[in-house]
Structure 1
Amino acid sequence: MSSLRLQTYISREIVAPFFLSVVLFTFVLLLSRLLKLIEMVVDKGVAITEIINLFACLLPSFFVITVPLSFLLAVMLAFGRLSSDSEIVAMKAAGFSLYRLALPVVIISLAVCLFTAYLTLFAEPSGRVKLKQRLIDIAYSKAAVALQPQIFNEEFDGLIMYANQVDNQTNTMKGVFISDERMGQTPSIILAERGEIRSDRGNGAMYMHLRQGAIHRPVERSGKLSYQVIDFQDYDVNLSLSTTEKKDDQVKLKAKELSTRELMNPDETLPAEKQREQRVELMERLILPISPLIFALLAVPLGIRSHRSPKGGGFALALFVFLFYYLCLSVTKTMVLESNWPIQTSLWGPTVAFLAVGIILLIRAAKERPLPGSILIVDLFDSLLALLLRRKRRLP
């Protein structure tokens, strides 16, 4: 067998399970959001086309997770099968070293790294912004449709709204009554001659602009309850729908919604904490695309060993490696943000460590010299997995 045919053969063994895994894992992640989206269709009357658009906006953030995981699993399954069928032994007997066998894996991993870089640097932040804008558009259009003349409306969280007249073309109202229960147990009553629904795309907010009205609310002073009336010419009432994100979530995702160019040129007027969050976000976007290369170096030696594991051991081991790597990244990110650890050395630490371990494992596997202690660790993992499988079979 020529070197080119060998590399093509190994590549085919990887590509098919890789794409299948991407589809399956992405579908599983979509299921976690499916219930909420179905609720939007059933309860809020959102069109199916809008739901499809929301799915499209979510895909890049899902691919950032599923693509590296699928590649790790595909390589481990491919080399596990080659090892179990003694094809690895035959290839080595034909004069092909493990480095030569791993070459197509590394080449494919570089392509996956480039695709992951496109996702983290461009597609994912753009998808988050588009998702937020579409949710605002849905909330805005739904609010306009929900308001009907001379009908009490409870579509908005904590608000009861009523209008004598409603113009759906201009989204304006006359004779507006609003009961606002968001500030406490006793609601504030707002009366206005005119009202209009408006949206602020920049801040991701929707509000009711009222003109010529008054706010009626009870006020407790020195243990006595009094009644307060505040007249206004213009007044804005913030609106919220269950389809929109909560305020805390918007603040949390603000750095993730910025484009990579904006992160590279931060606003110096922002507080130091916000600037630090943006630097951490930028560093994370640069680190994640390297994960497929790390998984390639780890998956080849682990895949060769995984064929001796119980059924499903390769999948379990791949999932363990993936979760452990991202757990390390998550812990270091938390410590950087909350304990002021140095950004670059802390965030790059897990990646450099996993990369070094992958190189060492590959070299030792090529020399057929397992890493000291690695056999014991893998055997313990296999024993634990076998024990779990036996207990599962005993369950009724």
Structure 2
Amino acid sequence: MARFDRYLISQLMVLFGFFSLVLVMVYWVNKAVGLFDQLIADGQSATVFLEFSALTLPRVVQIVLPISAFIATVYTINRLSRESELVVVQATGFSSFRLARPVLAFGLAVAIFLSLLSHILVPAAARQLAERESEIARNISARFFSDGSFLHPTEGLTLYIREIEPSGEMVDLFLSDQRNAARPTTYTARRALLLRSDEGPRLLMYDGMAQTLDRDANKLATTSFTDFTYDISALIGDFGNRKPAVGELTTGQLLRADPRLIAQTGSNPAQFKAAAHGRIAEPFLAMVTALVGFSCLLLGGFSRFGIWRQIVFAVVLLVVIKVLDNAVVDIARKDSSLVALMYLPVVVGLAVSAVILWISEHPALFRRRRQEAS
């Protein structure tokens, strides 16, 4: 690798690291504020907050790195332009495509790091975060069942348990359901258990009685039971039967599109394939952002009066590429046969960069055409 290539890559890497750190901190702090309020309101400790914050960090880094690559490229090339370093290098015979080689290497390095995040760290962190959320939710739901005090899980519902044994069995349970004001029901049971089933959590009561008061008829109906199941999933949620999300699955699982996993996630094979190929294609958009930013800055010469027009042009191009990316993702999620379109934004971005680099090498050609037209 030429000395200039090493020099430019080192400059890009330093600024890339700086801007990545700044943007990650800004984005992470914004996310952490809402997370802090939520966890502290649920009575969680600072350790849990730090754990959750760390698990959200890979996704934050994944979002920020393409932006950092673009900013680092624009800032570095602008500085080299203002200090006439690029002019000197071009005077030695470096073409625009030759100058783009270290930028391409830098973009590939960022894309490789993003691939590690997309395929390994982000799914693993999402999976661990979902499991910890489910575990904490189960602990919160367990607080609805404490002995020796009247509890009100929701409006119109009163629960009292005299004692909860170490095995989890409840002794002498009282449950008053006043949510239907016309027909309130009171349940009493000698023993009860909290069960988790495929349909959600259930309260299984033994040796008890159900008393329903019909206020319109002014009658009390009493029913004794040996065992009775009461659905409480609407009260405390179904935290024991968590279904995996598509973002938690590995890339291999997404590519195989196991029907069992598809049924568990409530998705379809097209969504699985789109997610898998999205993880492959998306990191290379960081390389595209760097090349688009570099190529646009070579347009119009190297002026000391600023390059805002080139920067705005680069941003507009990236917005168009991102809109195209969103469009092809929506198409691929509906039809698995069109999953190859996921790579179209990368191809378009590379083609646009190549065209702009070629134009920057032939400015006289377009200047001559404008003069002939006038």
- Cα pair distance change 1:273/1:148, threshold 3 Å: closer
The alpha-carbon distance between structure 1 residues 335 and 173, as it changes in their structure 2 partners (threshold 3 A), is same
Is 1:165 the counterpart of 2:159 in the alignment? Answer: no
Separation (CA, whole Å) in 2 of partners of 1:317 and 1:165: 71
> Does 2:77 align with 1:79?
yes
Residue pairs, 1:1-396, within 5 angstroms: 4-145=2-143, 147-153=145-151, 160=157, 162-165=159-162, 167=164, 172-177=169-174, 192-196=189-193, 207=201, 209-212=203-206, 232-235=227-230, 237-238=232-233, 254-268=245-259, 270=262, 274-305=268-299, 320-338=316-334, 340=335, 342-368=337-363
**Structure 1 residue 182 displacement after superposition:** 9.6
1:132 partner letter: A
Distance 1:357-1:145 versus aligned 2 partners, 3 A rule: same
- Aligned-pair CA distance for 1:40: 3.0
Deviation at 1:58, TM superposition (A): 1.1
- What's the CA shift string for 1:300-334, capped at 9, x where partnerless? 11234598687977876665554443332222222
Q: Larger Cα Rg: Structure 1 or Structure 2? A: 2
Q: How many residues align?
A: 355
Q: Write the deviation string for residues 338-371 of structure 1: whole angstroms up to 9, x where unpaired.
A: 5x48422432222222221122222332444799
Compare 124-133 and 92-101 and name the one that shifted more: 92-101
Whole-Å separation in 2 of the counterparts to 1:318 and 1:46: 45
Distance 1:145 1:363, change over 3 A: same
Q: Which moved more, 1:15-24 or 1:141-150?
A: 141-150
State the one-letter code of the partner of 2:282.
Answer: L
Letter in 2 for 1:123: L
Task: Classify 1:337/1:17 alpha carbon distance in 2 versus 1 (closer, same or farther; 3 Å).
Answer: same
* CA shift digits 1:128-167 (9 cap, x unpaired): 111100111222233435654343445x677856332354
**Structure 1 stretches of 5 or more lacking a match?**
220-225, 373-396
Give the TM-score normalised by the residue count of structure 1: 0.72
- Structure 2: 5+ residue stretches without partners: 215-219, 368-374
Partner secondary structure for residue 165 of structure 1: strand
Deviation at 1:210, TM superposition (A): 3.0
Contact 1:80-1:305 at 8 Å conserved across structures: no
TM-score by length of 2: 0.76
Separation (CA, whole Å) in 2 of partners of 1:157 and 1:315: 56
Alpha-carbon distance between aligned partners in 2 of 1:80 and 1:59, rounded to the nearest angstrom: 31
What's the Cα RMSD here?
4.3
TM-superposed deviation, 1:216 = 7.4
Cα distance change on mapping 1:15 and 1:233 into 2, 3 Å: same
8 Å contact kept, 2:107–2:290: yes
Q: Deviations over 1:243-269 (max 9, x none)?
A: x99x9xx87x72222111211222246
Identity of matched residues, %: 19
By how many angstroms is 1:71 displaced?
Answer: 0.8
Change (3 A) 1:343 1:10: same
In structure 2, relative to structure 1, the CA distance for the partners of 1:84 and 1:195 (3 Å cut) is farther
CA contact (8 A) 2:270 2:336 kept: no
